[in-house]
Amino acid sequence: MDKTNNPLLESWIPVDKESDFPIQNIPFGIFRRKGEPPSAATRIGDTVIDLKGLSTFQFLDGLDIDSDVFSQPFLNDFISLGKPVWRKVRERLSFIFESSNALLRDNESIKEHVLIPLQSVEMLMPVKVGDYTDFYSSMDHATNVGKMFRDPANALLPNWKHLPVGYHGRSSSIVVSGTSVHRPNGQFQEGKAVVPVYGPTKELDFELEVAFITGPATRLGYPVTTEEAEDHIFGLVLFNDLSARDIQRWEYVPLGPFLGKNFGSVISPWIITLDALEPFRVSGPEQEPAVLRYLRFSGDHHFDIRLEAALKPPGSPESVITRTNYRYLYWNIVQQLAHQTVNGCNINPGDLYASGTISGPDKGSFGSMLEINWNGTDPVRMSDGLERRFIEDNDTIIFRGFAEKKGLRIGFGEAITRILPAKTIG
């Protein structure tokens, strides 16, 4: 066991027992204090730790890192340095904030500069996303969609169990938790009408996903193998891939999602490293038929991460409407990255790869409203009696995720967005 994962570690920074961010987590993000430029941070409990400040006061000396990487508005430069550097920084931070280390603990003047209450900062996009791929890696989700819109007896398309299906999405509209998103306009069919209409989507949905973010770049023409993949994966975030189902249904043939998907996707602000999630590795489902050689792997590359989505209508309490688990995915992260690059596609620091909607085997674990209400035929009932078939204006969507084992909890915090009314044209 890596010493940073030791469940007995405690920090001198106060941490609630239900916190997602104990000293064993050490996530990375970008924050801003009022009137100051953005910079890199980690978090313990509800305390944001300024990495630029730690570097300025020489707490990160000896790690062979240019301190300027912590002064950038995105983490791309830092994560481009690779896994050995990420681990050195995690180990140093674990050492500094361990309960018995008085080096910073007893220095009140420096603590005032580098420790900031969470409520005093604004969390920003942690990376500049250059490229974005959305996979379709949950067999339960793909089967449900196939049953609804194709032949129930042949719900999965012939290629689905042979490769991680995916498409390239719009990276510029990926936003950080807390950002409101307007309901999109587009074309869709009403009922059985042959001619489409234009207007705001009537079937706005969430997709409960987890995404990984890549670190060191690769050269064009050089694939990444499943054995090498985790050396290029910095960490994971929660991901809400908002979807306009009616727009998507009309447009997706023959080239796939377009306006129904590219109007906004929301990520959680803290990147949780694979090292922090190490204790929660689990085996994935048996893959049958056997995959091709480049998709074969050894070891466990699934993670036991509990996920939930809640909906809060205006003036109403929040209602959790689904609970699922990241371990339900059929295709894992090393297979996804190996498939992305097998044709020679290069990757860059900050690229984002979403899992696709994560659904489990029953209605209580479905990862989208489309599935939970079975295409609008079985409305979702809120805790106060309200019903929802799809998301309405001014509803707030909240994603949460955490892993827990033997008293150790590592979480992601939240990914939150409020849906605003559509912008009208003319």
Query: Which residues lie closer than 8 Å to 38 by C-beta, 6 or more apart?
Result: 30, 31, 32, 72, 73, 124
CB atoms within 10 A of CB 212: 24
Q: Are 214 and 351 in contact (CB under 8 A)?
A: yes
Tell me how many degrees the CA angle 225-169-290 measures, rounded to the nearest 5. 35
Q: Active site includes 141?
A: yes
**pLDDT score recorded for residue 332:** 98
Asked whether the beta carbons of 266 and 412 are under 8 A apart, the reply is no
User: CA-based diameter of the chain, in Å?
Assistant: 72
Q: How many CA atoms lie within 13 A of 150 on its CB side?
A: 11
pLDDT for 11 equals: 98
Residue-by-residue pLDDT tens, the chain, 426 positions: 689 999 999 999 999 999 999 999 999 999 999 999 999 999 999 999 999 999 999 999 999 899 899 999 999 999 999 999 999 999 999 999 999 999 999 999 999 999 999 999 999 999 999 999 999 999 999 999 999 988 898 999 999 999 999 999 999 999 999 999 999 999 999 988 999 999 999 999 999 999 999 999 999 999 999 999 999 999 999 999 999 999 999 999 999 999 999 999 999 999 999 999 999 999 999 999 999 999 999 999 999 999 999 999 999 999 999 999 999 999 999 999 999 999 999 999 999 999 999 999 999 999 999 999 999 899 999 989 999 999 999 999 999 999 999 999 999 999 999 999 999 875
Work out the burial of residue 267: count CB atoms within 10 Å of its CB; fewer than 13 is exposed, 13-18 middle, 19 or more buried.
buried
Active-site position among 141, 232, 301, 302? 141
Dihedral angle computed from the Cα positions of residues 303, 267, 333 and 93, in that order, rounded to the nearest 10 degrees? -70
Strand, helix or coil for residue 408: strand
* H or E, element range at 14: none
Answer whether 205's CB lies under 8 Å from 187's CB. Answer: no
Residue 416: name the closest of 333, 348, 318, 346 by CA.
318
Whole-model pTM above 0.95? Answer: yes
Give me the pLDDT at residue 395, please. 98
Q: Could you tell me if 165 and 123 are in contact, meaning their C-beta atoms sit under 8 angstroms apart?
A: no
Closest alpha carbon to 422 in 244, 174, 249, 265: 244
User: What span, in angstroms and rounded, lies between the C-alpha atoms of 389 and 96?
Assistant: 49
